[in-house]
Structure formats: C-alpha cells, structure tokens
C-alpha cells in the first residue's frame, strides 16, 4: 500500500476548508464551505503531512525528550484529524454514494498509514529510551505523561513491532483488507436496512399505531417517493412498532424483515463479508501471538482476559434466561395463545397496561422532544455540573436537521460565564443515516493545543410532520440521556494530551458514564419537569410516574437475555481459530444456533439483540469482541448509582465529584483508578444483580 509522501501535503489547495484550522467558535468545522470533493484531498494530504511530522521526530539527532518525542507525536496529524473527524461523522450521519466511494479508497490507505507510524522501529526506540530513563529515576514524568508513554509502548507492541519483516508485511496486508471489509459491511448494512423497511399500503394494517407514529411512517414513505406508510428498520432485532401493532400478521412481517437483514442472498447480503472479517481477525491475532481476536481485545481493556469476560457472561446468562422464560410463560397465559418473538413486545405492553397502568401511547404526549431535551437532559446537567446551554442559530451544522448549542460552565463569583464547548444535536432518522445512536467528536478537548470540545449526538427518532411536535417513546428518552452521558464525557474532559481526551478510554469503560447518566431520566425531580403534556401543559400524573418507577424491573428477563445473546455471539465469533471460522454463507445461521445453545441462550421468543448479519457494532464499528462492554460497564454504573444515593443524590457536590474524579480525567490515567478515586474501592457486582432481578 502506497503511503502519501510529503509532496502530497504541499499540493492541498489553500482554498480547501481543511487546509487551516477553522476560525469559527471552538474550531467548529465550517460546514457551509465543506463539500464532498474536499474530503479526499485533505485526507491524503493529512496522511502525508503527518508522515513528514513523524519523520522529523524519529530523525531528530537530539536525545529523546517528552517535548521532542511524546508531545511532538501528540501535535502531529492536525490536518488529518480535522478532515477525518468530519468525514467519519458525515459518513455515519448523512452518507452519500460519493462519501462511500471515498471511504472505500482511503480506508486501506489509512490502515497502512497507521501501520507506518506504529511499526516504525525508530519511534519505538525513542519511546524505550524515555521509559528506561523513567524507570531509572533520571527522568521525572507527570502522572498523565507517564501513562501516555506506557500506553504508547503498549500500542506499538500490539501493532506488531516485534514481528519479523515478512510478518509485518503480512500484518499490513491484513489490516488494510480488514479496514476495507469493515467499510463494505457498513455500506451493505445501511442499504439492506433501507431495503428491508416494511411498506404498508392498507391503513387498516396499522391498527394500534399512534397518530404520531403513523404520520412519521407516512412522511418516511413520502421522502422515498413511496405511496403508503413505511415502517423503517431500527438497528436491533426487535422493532419499536411491534409493541403497538394489533395485527399478528403485520407484526410477523416486520419481525421477519428485521431478522432477515443481511442474509437474503441480495446485493446487501453481509455474510461473505463478515466471514472473511472473522477469519482475518483470527489470523491477525495468531500472527501477534494471541489465541484469538477476543484475547487480543480483552488484554488492552479493563477485563484483561477472555476468561474474565466469559465468567461474567456465564454468571449472568442462566438466571437471565430463566427470567425470560418465566416472563414468556406469563405472557402466553395472559394471551391464551403462543407468543413468538414478533408478538412479545405487543403482549408485554398489554401487561404493562394491566399491571402497571402503563401505555406507551398514553405516555408519548407527555414526552415531547424539546421539553425532554431542555427540561430533562440539559436540566440534569445544570443541577449536577452547573452547565447552561444556549442555541447558536448563527452556526451551521452538516445537515439541516442539526442544531448547535454552546455549553457554558458556571462561573466563579465575580466572573462571567466561560464557554466550555459546543454540543451538536442530530436527533432525527433519515435514509442516509446509519441505525442506532452514538456520540462522536469534531474537536477533542486538550490543553496542549488549547482546544475545547465539540461533540455530536446522533439518534434515530422519527420526525413528526411539519408543524407537529415530535413525541418520544420512553426508550427514546433514556437513549437521549444515555448519549448525552457520552457528550458530557467529552465536554467535561480536562486533560493535557489530545489522545487522552474524554471518551478515549477502553471499550468496557466508555459506556459507564453514559449509563450512569440514564439514571436522571428516572429521577422524580427531573422527570417531573420534562414529563408534561405537550398540548395542555399538565404534568404527567404522579401515579403514572410512581408506576413507571415501580415497573422498572418488568421485562428485565427479556432485555438482559437479548443483550447477552448478542454479547455471546460476539465472543463466539471472535474466539475462533482461523481454520474454525465457517466456510460458507449458509453456515452462518447454524453457527449462531450452536453458539447460543452452547451458552444456554437459545430461546426462540427472545432472539439476540443483533443477529450476526446486522451486528454493526462488531463488524461495522469498533466493538469487535467488546460488545460485552455494556454489561461490564453496567457493573460500574449500578455501583455508582448506589454511590449517588448514599451521598444524597442529585446535588452539585456529587456532580462535581463525579466530574473531577472521573469525567474530567478521560484517558489520562488507568480508568479503573478513576473509578476507585470516586468510589473508594473496586466495583461490586451486587447492585447490578439487584437491578436486573438476578440476585442470589
């Protein structure tokens, strides 16, 4: 793979918006100027520029120092970073065929570029000299710098620096091919999800669906030039509409369409792609000296080993499945008929109505998006951390749906408000956006370069027709709080080095702060402010709120089992040796069944949250062999919820402690130490077991 040379950097047109840092507030990218044709030249020039910068570092005749080696490495790649952060966000949030073509061209070159840096023996030697001096006591390092050096050496070693030249060449080829395949999986998945959307032409088939949901489905059909109502596919197996649709045959159509994504033999079939990825990941792990890809991933995470991951999943799976089976028996008894995967949500919603007087259709009018955002998500951040939010109508996002808020820190007495960064909200679904919800950075906070954070939250909420309010499901409310927890991790970061900013922590830690932030959606003081009827202004009845709080454990058997099914599949695929990866697309379904059966999680009415063929987290994103991270992080989350309760709950004092001891530190120290600094001890699993109803 050819790496762009220094001459390429000099050829970037100065008129390219990426050529210099943005002059907009907080270096927000100038989306009014950026065009599709600007991305690739800037990425290519950025790679060339960084290679030249690294070459200056490794050929410096002066002895290695923190300034001329570690800080110089941190400063390198500014042009590339500017271009890639915008490009990756745009590709996920508003893809076009042109952007996908660019990804296909640059992805293998980016993999080769990274290999060129971390397989450079000269850089390795300079880092080793610094570590030897630190070990000998002749070089005093600040704690964050010592951790930076430690992680740099780990990354270099895990990149294959100690392999022979021929093996390094093999590794480079594997990395390039895997990057290409990951991009290919994402493209196929998005196209397949759009193709799988269920078109309804007879409105009678929508019986049970709320007026707002019908209007959203009608708008979705119109946006694609279709007549009728389009039920768009969300990323996971169980679709939200299944809780409302009264006709079993329509529910079955939706569920079948959902679970058949990626395995229908069409151009969108992902099986050939994912099988090659699984095999190549296994080959790469073996080349690097690991038993399998999962062992490679776990080593650099909080878990440490796959044995630790397997032990946790094995402890949780039997009681979770037992709970799910009990819930299923209960549903069938009440329904008086078999309950399939397609029927589960519908009958579970009926139980909620009967036992808890809860009805999603009744709740929605009290969950209007603007009020949830301002009087819920933003209010909690204000009460905990002293943050305030001002919408910047003068700033432009990358799509008309995007809104930008300036975030202010509470000033010290006698001082004016200090701008902390920008929060970019992209809440609505569209055909060009990948499924799910996520947070990304456009600018990373760091003191070395004097940058403050610009963070993005992407959700997939169906927009109401023009002039009507967008009403949310409760799941969408908690998702909004969750993703804003990630945003807070970025906005409240207070680190020196860019590579340690905010969410730059292990996968099995990164979900922890966001899961903690979900607790405030349930906090009566917060819930009482945002749960207000959008027409009458009446608050949600107190008895409804009490019922919601009382019903939190209902359905945990289902939700925990579907999650664990996906986590177990992830481990099953990534604990394979190369020769054990299934050979043909037709083998994928059988492998899935066998893996779930072996783990005791093969319960038909509760399919995995993601089946292999549309498991974007592990084949299109960065969670390969790490989907267990959500439950691992929940251990920390549940323990921290207990800490909040023990310490007085929703107070500035508690928020400040969580901010300073954990969020602000980002990846500047071992994240397990950040947890201990907050909690005063290592995490305990008992609070999570109690939350899930899985206590001993």
Name the residues annotated as catalytic: 483
Which pair of tokens denotes residue 631? 């439950």
Q: Ramachandran region of residue 598, left (φ > 0), alpha (ψ -120 to 50) or beta?
A: alpha
Q: How many helices (H) and strands (E) does the chain have?
A: 29, 7
Burial per residue of 586-602, b for 16 or more beta-carbon CB atoms within 10 angstroms, e otherwise: eebeebbeebbeebebb
Cα(632)–Cα(382) distance, integer angstroms: 28
Q: Choose among 567, 303, 621: nearest CA to 458.
A: 621
Alpha-carbon torsion (147, 659, 437, 313), positive or negative = positive
Cβ–Cβ < 8 Å for 108, 176: yes
Cα(271)–Cα(58) distance, integer angstroms: 43
Cα(559)–Cα(538) distance, integer angstroms: 32
Query: Which position has the token pair 């305990």?
Result: 684
What is the phi/psi pair of residue 440, to 5°? -145, 165
Taking residue 505's Cβ as centre, other Cβ atoms within 10 Å add up to 24
Beta bridge partners of residue 199, listed in sequence order: 230
Query: Could you tell me whether strands 198-200 and 403-409 are parallel, antiparallel, or unpaired per DSSP bridges?
Result: unpaired
Cα(688)–Cα(674) distance, integer angstroms: 19
Cβ–Cβ < 8 Å for 68, 131: no
The rounded Cα 69 to chain-centroid distance in angstroms is: 32
Q: Choose among 433, 475, 484: nearest CA to 455.
A: 484
The H or E element containing residue 199 is strand 198-200
Beta bridge partners of residue 457, listed in sequence order: 425, 439
CA angle 239–240–245, rounded 5-degree value: 95
CA angle 243–595–570, rounded 5-degree value: 70
> Exposed, middle or buried: residue 543 (CB in 10 Å: 0-12, 13-18, 19+)?
exposed
Cα(63)–Cα(69) distance, integer angstroms: 9
Cβ–Cβ < 8 Å for 148, 83: no
Cβ–Cβ < 8 Å for 273, 241: no
Query: Which position has the token pair 């970037």?
Result: 12
Taking residue 553's Cβ as centre, other Cβ atoms within 10 Å add up to 12
Half-sphere exposure for 551 (CA within 13 Å, toward CB): 19
């Amino acid at each position: 793979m050819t790496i762009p040379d220094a001459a390429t950097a000099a050829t970037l047109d100065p008129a390219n918006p990426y050529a210099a840092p943005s002059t907009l507030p907080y270096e927000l990218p100038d989306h009014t100027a950026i065009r599709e044709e600007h991305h690739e030249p800037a990425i290519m020039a950025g790679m060339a520029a960084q290679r030249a910068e690294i070459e200056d570092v490794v050929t410096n005749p002066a002895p290695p120092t923190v300034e001329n080696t570690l800080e110089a490495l941190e400063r390198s790649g500014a042009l590339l970073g500017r271009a890639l952060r915008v490009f990756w966000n745009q590709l996920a949030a508003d893809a076009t065929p042109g952007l996908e073509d660019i990804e296909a061209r640059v992805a293998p070159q980016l993999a080769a570029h990274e290999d060129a840096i971390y397989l450079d023996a000269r850089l390795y030697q300079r880092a080793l000299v610094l570590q030897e001096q630190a070990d000998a006591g002749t070089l005093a390092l600040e704690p964050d710098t010592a951790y930076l050096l430690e992680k740099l050496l780990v990354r270099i070693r895990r990149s294959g620096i100690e392999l022979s030249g021929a093996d390094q060449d093999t590794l480079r080829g594997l990395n390039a091919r895997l990057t290409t395949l990951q991009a290919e999986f994402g493209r196929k998945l998005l196209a397949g999800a759009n193709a799988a959307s269920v078109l309804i032409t007879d409105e009678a088939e929508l019986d049970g669906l709320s007026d707002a949901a019908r209007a959203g489905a009608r708008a979705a059909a119109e946006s694609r030039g279709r007549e009728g109502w389009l039920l768009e596919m969300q990323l996971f197996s169980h679709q939200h509409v299944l809780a409302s649709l009264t006709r079993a045959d329509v529910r079955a159509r939706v569920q079948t369409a959902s679970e058949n994504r990626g395995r229908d033999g069409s151009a969108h079939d992902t099986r050939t792609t994912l099988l090659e990825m699984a095999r190549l990941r296994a080959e790469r792990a073996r080349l690097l000296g690991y038993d399998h890809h999962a062992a490679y991933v776990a080593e650099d995470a909080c878990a440490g080993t796959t044995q630790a991951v397997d032990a946790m999943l094995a402890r949780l799976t039997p009681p979770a499945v037992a709970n799910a089976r009990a819930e299923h028996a209960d549903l069938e008894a009440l329904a008086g008929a078999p309950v399939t995967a397609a029927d589960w949500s519908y009958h579970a919603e009926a139980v909620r109505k009967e036992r808890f007087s809860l009805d999603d259709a009744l709740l929605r009018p009290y969950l209007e998006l603007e009020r949830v955002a301002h009087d819920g998500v933003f209010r909690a951040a204000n009460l905990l951390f002293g943050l305030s939010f001002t919408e910047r109508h003068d700033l432009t996002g990358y799509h008309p749906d995007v809104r930008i808020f300036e975030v202010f820190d509470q000033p010290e007495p006698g001082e004016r408000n200090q701008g902390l960064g920008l929060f970019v909200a992209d809440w609505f679904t569209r055909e060009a956006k990948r499924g799910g919800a996520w947070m990304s950075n456009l600018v990373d906070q760091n003191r070395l370069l004097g940058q403050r954070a610009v963070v993005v939250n992407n959700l997939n909420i169906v927009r109401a027709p023009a002039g009507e309010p967008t009403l949310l499901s409760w799941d969408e409310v908690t998702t909004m709080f969750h993703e804003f927890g990630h945003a807070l991790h970025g906005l409240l970061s207070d680190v020196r080095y860019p590579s340690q900013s905010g969410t730059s922590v292990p996968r099995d830690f990164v979900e922890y702060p966001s899961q903690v932030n979900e607790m405030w959606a349930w906090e009566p003081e917060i819930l009482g402010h945002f749960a207000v009827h959008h027409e009458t202004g009446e608050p949600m009845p107190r008895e409804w709120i009490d019922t919601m709080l009382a019903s939190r454990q209902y359905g945990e058997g289902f939700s925990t089992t579907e999650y664990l099914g996906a986590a177990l599949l992830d481990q099953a695929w990534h604990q394979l040796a190369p020769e054990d990866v299934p050979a043909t697309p037709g083998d994928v379904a059988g492998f899935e069944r066998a893996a779930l059966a072996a783990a005791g999680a093969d319960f038909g009415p509760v399919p995995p949250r993601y089946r292999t063929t549309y498991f974007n987290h592990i084949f299109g994103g960065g969670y390969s062999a790490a989907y267990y991270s959500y439950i691992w992080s929940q251990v920390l989350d549940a323990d921290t919820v207990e800490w909040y309760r023990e310490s007085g709950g929703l107070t500035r004092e508690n928020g400040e402690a969580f901010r300073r001891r954990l969020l602000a530190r980002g990846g500047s120290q071992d994240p397990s130490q950040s947890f201990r600094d907050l909690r005063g001890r290592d995490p305990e699993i008992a609070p999570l077991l109690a939350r899930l109803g899985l206590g001993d």
